[in-house]
Amino acid sequence: MSQMYLVDDRMTEIAPHKHCVVCGNAVRADENFCDELCETKFKSAQRRQQLLFGAFIVLMVLILFLPSLLKMKG
């Protein structure tokens, strides 16, 4: 099921597609990435984001509970 679009004053048929989530290149409708490099970049960025979120949670726990723990000891 392709769609018709107006391009340069004429109707042009464009096959169903999506765009790579990293670089924006057109890919088939059943894919998310245009190649292995973009998939690797996406997974690396996702992993880095998860690590930063984990570090943020640890920091927040320390900020919230460390003062009360120090008061109990001292």
Q: Is residue 5 predicted with pLDDT exceeding 80?
A: no
Q: How confident is the model at residue 73 (pLDDT cuts 50, 70, 90)?
A: confident
At 12 the pLDDT is 73
Q: Is residue 1 predicted with pLDDT exceeding 70?
A: no
Averaged pLDDT score across all residues of the chain: 90
Alpha carbon distances (Å) from 63 to 13, 68, 70: 58, 10, 12
User: From the CA atom positions of the chain, what is the Rg in Å?
Assistant: 24
Range of the domain at 60: 3-73
How do residues 8-30 score in pLDDT, each as one tens digit? 667 677 788 999 999 999 999 99
**Can you read off the two tokens belonging to residue 35?**
């190649």
Rounded to whole angstroms, how far apart are CA atoms 5 and 65? 59
At 74 the pLDDT is 64
Number of folded domains that form the chain: 1
